[in-house]
Structure 1
Amino acid sequence: MKSQPPILPISLQEAKKPGIREFDIILVTGDAYVDHPSFGTALIGRVLRDAGFTVGIIAQPDWKSNDDFKKLGKPRLFFGVSSGNVDSMVNNYTANLKIRSDDVYSPGGKGGLRPNRASIVYSDKLHSIFPGTPIILGGIEASLRRFAHYDHWSDSVRQSILADAPADMIVFGMGERQVVEIANRLSKGQNIKEIRDLAGTAIKVEISKWRSMEHESYMEIPGFPDVSRDKELYAKAFNLHYQEQDPVRGRPVVQTHPKTIIIQNKPAMPLSTQELDHVYELPFSRKAHPSYNKPIPALAPVKFSVVSHRGCFASCSFCALTHHQGRIIQSRSIESIVREVKRMTKMPDFKGIVQDVGGPTANMYSMHCKRWQGEGACPDKICMGCKSLDASHKNQVELLRRLLEIEGVKKVFIGSGIRYDLVLKDTSGYLSQLCEHHVSGHLKVAPEHIIKHVTDIMHKPGKEMFEDFRKRFDAENKRPGKRQYILPYFMSGHPGCSVEDMVELAEYIRDNNLYTEQVQDFTPTPMTASTCMYYTGIDPFTMEKVHVAKGREKRIQRALLQYRDERNYGFVTEGLKMAGREDLIGSDRKCLIKRGKENRRI
């Protein structure tokens, strides 16, 4: 491992200390700079520095001026641009399109420090100041907007972000391997326009050049002009590119735009266990840059957390992980995670609590299918419930046991959520160990809904599995005499869900004492199957019509999940009348609304 500085420089003055006269690469991000592996810019910066390149960071530049974009000078190789850990539109607006007043990725939680569509805005600035210098987009915003996509905030289909931004390339998915390869090629004198074949990247080519290329090896999907006016073609295009998001069997995907052609190369191969170990054992300080005089709120809940794996094979319709991290689970070794936690125990502010050990789904650690390496994930079925999947929790049980044995560690919690349908099949004692040692009062699970046709569309397990898990969880907690609870997450407004379905869910919540203020109103974010359904009213996998709640009905559905909140009484009453369930308005203990309060409005 090459020697690395305590923290990557954000100014020319800091660059002088390690003797940097010119940066090879400058990373521009919409987040504050936090040197922690959960922050994408820090992770990519550390990986590039480890590969021998000098890296500077411009964090949350003032986009209304040129000064911040010029402060590190011109990089020798390229600018890397990211909106930050979250899509800038998701970050700046609520599901109801109201401007957020805060931003957990900014000092003091202050909102308004990143522009809307940050990747495009930053690229425009850099291109105008440093024409001819390669610009490479990365991160969630660019990754999930690489094709024509429905944009909830403008209520329209937008072009690929690469067609809108003056950038040369998108690195999509987890980009460590790609950015190092790009840096190596550019350092050897190759022109950015010549890098056409790199897995895990999307590029644009001139229409005339595309016409002269051989097309046999590409999957061409309906173009922007077609999908922006024909919802059925939009759904078809989504299904076609969804099927190619596998690093083994995926083909390059092409989509025409009015002035350019977008080509997504096949996804990059996942990192091996050894590569993943190396990345997460780079010397992150786990601190915000010392120049900030206010804390970065997003750091607190993850500061002493550990990433154990990547990927998720659940294929939930409302999640974009299939397009970003992929379905193949990539796990670190137990030894590597133990070493990372041992280093954490040496930090002066470590209090003995490991906040989380997990990934997109905590209990998928070390799970694998023998087909993944040679054939990739199956194109015609979901991995959940497949007999070919090794869904044993044995290695995670061992991992958690080893972490508890480390001197200085008092508690190791699972904070990133689990799939309870996987737990129900486990025979290794995982649930028992989880309840005894790794639940911090509440265990997060996400049934999302209890109506079968809704959970089927979501690709979530049904009510019966959730109830089975609740019974087993309660039984396990009686043994050590603990009072621990399930914290369920439910979703309103998802495609396929009607007001009648939400009333039934509200009754289920009431009858099972599951009421919580932590509910989620479905937000159509780029490149999910659910967003495709929201826009088109069509399930892209079956091409059947799907009910979609919008406008007032969507607000009513959310209110039904929070039926106890007096501010929602008017909407709840309206929903009960729509569903023909006025019997739930009255004085009986089963009623959702007390008689006499049903006419209240927000």
Structure 2
Amino acid sequence: MAAPFLPLSKAEMNELGWDACDFVLVTGDAYVDHPSFGAAIIGRVLESRGYRVGILSQPDWRDARSFKALGRPRLAWLVTAGNLDSMVNHYTAAKKRRSEDSYSPGGRAGLRPDRASLVYAHRCRQAFKEPPIILGGIEASLRRFAHYDYWDDKVRRSVLVDAKADVLVFGMGEEPITALAEELNRRRAGEAFAHPLGAATPGVCYIAADLADIPETNPIVLPSFDEVVADKCAYAKAFQLQEREQNPVDGKTLVQPHGEQFLVQNRPGRPLTTKEMDALYDLPFARQPHPAYEGMGGVPALEEVEFSLTAQRGCFGGCSFCALTFHQGRIIQGRSHDSLVREARRLIRSPRFKGYIHDVGGPTANFRRPACRKQGKAGACRDRQCLHPKPCPNLDVDHGDLIDLLRKLRALEGVKKVFIRSGLRFDYLMADKPARRREFLKELCEHHVSGQLKVAPEHASPKVLRQMGKPGIDVYEAFKKEYEQANKEVGREQYLVPYLVSSHPGADIHEAIELAERLRDWGCHPEQVQDFIPTPGSLSTCIYYTGIDPRTMEPVYVPRSPKEKARQRALLQFRRSENYPLVYQALRAAGRMDLVGHGPNALIRPPRPGMGGGDAAGSARKGRQETPAKKGPRGAGKGTGKAAGKGAGKGSGRKGRSF
């Protein structure tokens, strides 16, 4: 019988009658036994296979003795930085230290180290030398090759090499970790293996001392660590090869030399079936923080997901700044309606449930099935995106399944409202048949929006949108028009909240001004904007570092100076008085003083003598406020962590992130 929680201490192990753990899972997050937390998923998966798993949550990394708290693991250490890359968790785009950590008790910062995967692995080795160390989680997954690190401003080795660990599980790790556990048991029983641990397991990276140690006879050898450090063209070529082979059906083994060692990546693990996804979410999660955290103020990240449903994982959207496809993959893995209804009924039984399901979705709310039939047999296309620059003719667009699912959920006794907050891909919606699109929008506006709907046009310049892998702004404007019409038909006054990114590769000051003009015409007042953060694993980060688009090997302009970044950001919020000096400087430098004046097209008024900080109230057009005065139920209108971790896995705090 499953324990209410996996043990955090020797005392809890004793209560379960354990003398040792098979696996000790070290995590940089507080232990929340909920399927949105990677440590909980991996722990429960291994438990369901009969293994004993203990949790070392946020151990004191300064002292190796804290890593002995659960004793020596019988099979292996499992190490994860947590649901976010630790550097994204700790630092803003301006490299300033964040004051809160939503994955820690009470939101307290400072409970995990920088580069947590490395530090934890070294401490595990100091505590007990013998057990293998297996890295996992988004930090390890996206840093598995030689990668550019924004905070060091240099190319770093694979995290597996620097951590001196044995194996790295990349992507969603349920299948690989189960296979590794079986192999570890067989090795412990004395079975001989000709290759390193994990060499035959999809979804795994390992270190080989010699090419002869690799089972694959014809691997693709990438430019070496030394080559990508010395030559940005070599870095871009290496990235493009990595991206092309992230195919679970026929992806090739990749090898990247690191000095005298060879980093080996097997092809990605296969997507889970619907039956397997259902079984995963039927595991006996307590859905709460461990009782050890009582009185500490809760774990803020749970508030976003406690009464939400993860309906699917994976994304074929192809946004350049998002590393999600490098982690979860491009093939959608969805749960059945029955599974989601069962979970909804469990939510309803909670004494904390107030009648509101805060979200139904995943990385993208309206991707409920693979992009096309071909993906089931051949995987995602190597050199073609599903939605960019135009929707693929083979794209299977259908919102009928999502409509049926939402109707079932909102019909449940005890449910007052079901909201959609995880990103709605509006270009996919606009590719649907007009009648089905109107039906979906009408139901969405009538039943599933809490006053505002967050969508992600990201920018308005065609030049920048091409680099982002996003549709033309005309698609967003067509969606905006239909959304507003749908709200009129159902008698609602509801708003669109656009996510916008400043200083993305390809954007110079003229593109930033183009976006500001579009915001003026929309009458939009962005409350929050996001500076582009170059996080490992994304195409945009490769372009940021190299100044080269690896798909074409053509040069791309990259805004780098703090002054230009500040001006671009200020232009997105040109109405704010504190931004007046920066906006004025940007317009003057760009030769766009036609936008300073009193006319209908002006962004700001001319400066007045002695006006000090300036006056941004002179916007010629007074558009409606982006955020409505009326708010939905608590939590229903909140974001999903996107601002904290843009590009780290499509909103790093989102549901469905696994080990």
Determine if contact 1:367/1:392 at 8 Å carries over to the other structure.
Answer: no
Aligned to 2:406: 400
Aligned residue for 1:470?
Answer: 480
The question of whether the paired residues in 1 share the 8 Å contact of 2:198 and 2:204 is answered with no
Aligned: 1:514 with 2:517 = no
Aligned to 2:597: 586
8 Å CA contact 1:570–1:599 kept in 2: the answer is no
Q: How does 1:345-360 map to 2 (within 5 A)?
A: 345-360=348-363
Report the CA distance between 1:213 and its aligned residue: 5.6
Deviation track 1:195-241 (CA, whole Å, cap 9, x = no partner) reads 311100000111xx226768742111101101011111111110011
Could you list the per-position Cα deviations for residues 513-564 of structure 1 after superposition, in whole angstroms to 9, with x for gaps in the alignment? 1221221110000010000000000001011110000122122111111222
Q: Secondary structure at the match of 1:121?
A: helix
CA distance in structure 2 between the aligned counterparts of 1:416 and 1:303, rounded to whole angstroms: 14
Deviations 1:479-536 (A, max 9, x none): 1111111110111000011100101111111121122122111000001000000000
Q: Give the whole-Å Cα distance in 1 for the aligned partners of 2:393 and 2:16.
A: 54
Cα distance in structure 1, aligned partners of 2:213 and 2:138:
32
SS in 1 for 2:120: helix
Q: Which amino acid aligns with 1:557?
A: Q
Q: Distance in 2 between the 1:310 and 1:25 partners?
A: 26
| Alignment RMSD (CA, Å) | 1.5
Residue 332 (str. 1) matches residue 335 (str. 2): yes
- Shift in CA distance, 213/110, structure 1 to aligned 2, threshold 3 Å: closer
One-letter amino acid of the counterpart of residue 582, structure 2: F
Distance in 2 (alpha carbons) for counterparts of 1:407 and 1:16: 41
Q: Structure 1: which amino acid aligns with 2:284?
A: P
Q: Please name the residue that 2:281 is paired with.
A: 280
TM-score by length of 2: 0.88
| Aligned match of 1:344 | 347
Ranked by relative contact order (alpha carbons within 8 Å, sequence separation 6 or more), the top structure is 2
Give, in whole Å, the separation in 2 of the partners of 1:566 and 1:418: 32
Task: Output the amino acid matched with 1:377.
Answer: A
Q: What is the identity, as a one-letter code, of the residue corresponding to 2:67?
A: F
**Partners of 1:417 and 1:443 within 8 A in 2:** no
Query: Structure 2: how far apart are the matches of 1:22 and 1:29?
Result: 19
- Candidates 361, 365, 385, aligned match of 1:362: 365
Q: CA, structure 1 residues 536+599, in 2 after alignment: closer, same or farther (shift >3 Å)?
A: farther
Please report the TM-score for the alignment, with normalisation by the length of structure 1. Answer: 0.97
Match of 2:177 in 1: 179
The answer to whether the 8 A contact 1:29-1:84 is kept is: yes
SS of equivalent to 1:300: helix
Q: Residues 545-564 of structure 1 correspond to what in structure 2 (within 5 A)?
A: 545-551=555-561, 552-564=563-575
Partner of 1:271: 272
What code does the residue aligned with 1:79 have? W
| Structure 1 contact 569–599 (Cα < 8 Å) conserved | no
Q: Tell me the distance in 1 between the aligned counterparts of 2:217 and 2:42.
A: 34
What is the aligned partner in structure 1 of residue 114 from structure 2? 116
Answer yes or no: is 1:536 the counterpart of 2:546. yes
Q: Give structure 1 regions of 4+ aligned residues with deviation exceeding 4 angstroms.
A: 211-216
| TM-fit CA distance, 1:579 | 1.3
Structure 1 equivalent of residue 649 of structure 2: none
**Who is 2:580 aligned against?**
569
Paired AA for residue 145 in structure 2: F
> C-alpha separation between the residues in 1 aligned to 2:537 and 2:223?
15
2:305 aligned counterpart, secondary structure: coil
The number of aligned residues is 597
CA contact (8 A) 2:216 2:253 kept: no
Give the conservation status (yes or no) of the 8 Å contact 2:197–2:206.
no
Deviations 1:168-215 (A, max 9, x none): 010000000111111111122257934311100000111xx2267687
CA distance in 1: counterparts of 2:491 and 2:566, whole angstroms? 41
Q: Which residue of 1 aligns with 2:651?
A: none
Shift of 1:305: 0.7
Aligned partner of 1:422 in structure 2 is 428
Match of 2:466 in 1: 456
Contact 2:199/2:214 (CA < 8 Å) preserved in 1?
no
User: What SS does structure 1 have at the residue aligned with 2:119?
Assistant: helix
- For 2:480 and 2:590, the matched residues in 1 are separated by 29
Q: Following the alignment from structure 1 to structure 2, what is the Cα–Cα distance between the partners of residues 480 and 472? A: 12
Segment of structure 1 superposing worse, 453-462 or 151-160: 453-462
Distance, in Å, in 2 between the alignment partners of 1:358 and 1:512 is 28
Q: Is the counterpart of residue 484 in structure 1 residue 494 in structure 2?
A: yes
Contact 2:64 2:126 in 1 (8 A): no
Q: Give the counterpart letter for 2:456 in structure 1.
A: A
Does structure 1 residue 322 correspond to structure 2 residue 322?
Answer: no
State which of 292, 299, 304 in structure 2 corresponds to 1:301.
304
Q: 1:397 to 1:493 in 2, by over 3 A?
A: same
Task: State the partner residue of 2:378.
Answer: 375
Aligned-residue offset at 1:412: 0.6
Q: Give SS of 1:447's match.
A: strand
> Do 1:12 and 1:71's aligned partners in 2 also have CA atoms closer than 8 Å?
yes
Q: Is the 8 A contact 1:366 1:396 kept in 2?
A: no
Q: Tell me, yes or no, if the aligned pair for 2:398 and 2:432 is still in contact at 8 Å.
A: yes
Q: Tell me the residue number matched to 2:58.
A: 60
CA distance in 1, matches of 2:214, 2:9: 44
Q: Contact 2:424–2:455 at 8 Å: present in 1 too?
A: yes
Q: Distance in 2 between matches of 1:81 and 1:189?
A: 20
From 435, 440, 447, the counterpart of 2:457: 447
Question: What SS class does the counterpart of residue 24 from structure 2 fall into?
Answer: strand
Q: How does 1:215-294 map to 2 (within 5 A)?
A: 216-292=217-293, 293=295, 294=297
Structure 1: which amino acid aligns with 2:536? P
Deviation at 1:397, TM superposition (A): 0.7
- Structure 1's unaligned 5+ residue stretches are none
More deviation, 88-97/566-575: 566-575
Instruction: Describe the SS at the equivalent of 2:366.
Output: helix
Structure 1 residue 584: Cα displacement: 2.2
Are 2:109 and 1:99 equivalent residues in the alignment?
Answer: no
Contact 1:360–1:416 (8 Å) recurs in 2: yes
